[in-house]
């Protein structure tokens, strides 16, 4: 569920209500991009943030249980290459789950700046279906600027994506 309401998104885009499902998908993608950039989760309110932090503890515990089971299963694999691959996948899954847990734990309530950045990303996704713009008024292809990174940078806790 998005931290930003669909009504705010539709108003920002000056879009028709008929596009609600399409816009919700883009809004989810915009918020996910912002969260990945900041390496932290954005919550609509304080109770959501408290719930997210509780979920982070459970996620980390479950990841360690899954890792232990995967390592035990890998130990039973006879072929050395297959065993090494299984160990590598188990390590990757654990690392990904821990990163998700940290993002939940380091979550932040939606601020006006973060909302503006998400809406910039949303507007970009809604208006431009490609990474570059071509056509009249451009000399060849032109990459579109993403001012959202400027807005999100102060909230970044690690390098993120």
Distance of CA 37 to the CA centre of its chain: 7
Backbone angles phi, psi at 42, to 5 degrees: -105, 130
Q: Nearest-CA neighbor of 149 among 109, 121, 112, 111?
A: 121
Report the candidate in 109, 1, 96, 107 with the shortest Cα–Cα distance to residue 45.
109
Whole-model pTM: value is 0.79
Q: What percent of the chain has pLDDT over 70?
A: 87
Residue-wise pLDDT tens digits, 55-104: 999 999 999 999 999 999 999 999 999 999 999 999 999 999 999 999 99
Sign of CA pseudo-dihedral 44, 46, 48, 52: positive
The per-residue pLDDT for 134 is: 64
What's the mean pLDDT in 37-65? 96
Residue with tokens 């060849």, as numbered in its chain: 140
d(CA 4, CA 34): 12
For the chain, domain boundaries: 1-41+111-161, 45-109
Q: Does domain 1-41+111-161 have CATH number 1.10.3230?
A: yes
Q: How far apart are CA 157 and CA 11, in angstroms?
A: 31
């Amino acid at each position: 569920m998005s931290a930003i309401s669909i009504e705010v998104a539709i108003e920002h885009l000056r879009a028709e209500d008929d596009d609600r499902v399409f816009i919700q998908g883009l809004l989810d993608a915009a918020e996910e991009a912002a969260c990945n950039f900041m390496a932290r989760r954005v919550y609509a309110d304080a109770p959501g943030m408290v719930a997210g932090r509780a979920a982070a503890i459970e996620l980390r515990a479950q990841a360690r249980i899954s890792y232990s089971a995967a390592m035990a299963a890998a130990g039973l694999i006879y072929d050395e290459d297959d065993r090494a691959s299984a160990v590598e996948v188990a390590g990757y899954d654990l690392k990904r789950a821990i990163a998700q847990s940290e993002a939940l734990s380091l979550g932040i309530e939606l601020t006006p700046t973060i909302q503006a950045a998400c809406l910039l990303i949303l507007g970009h996704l809604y208006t431009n279906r490609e990474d570059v713009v071509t056509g009249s008024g451009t000399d060849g292809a032109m990459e579109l600027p993403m001012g959202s990174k400027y807005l999100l940078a102060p909230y970044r806790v690690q390098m993120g994506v």
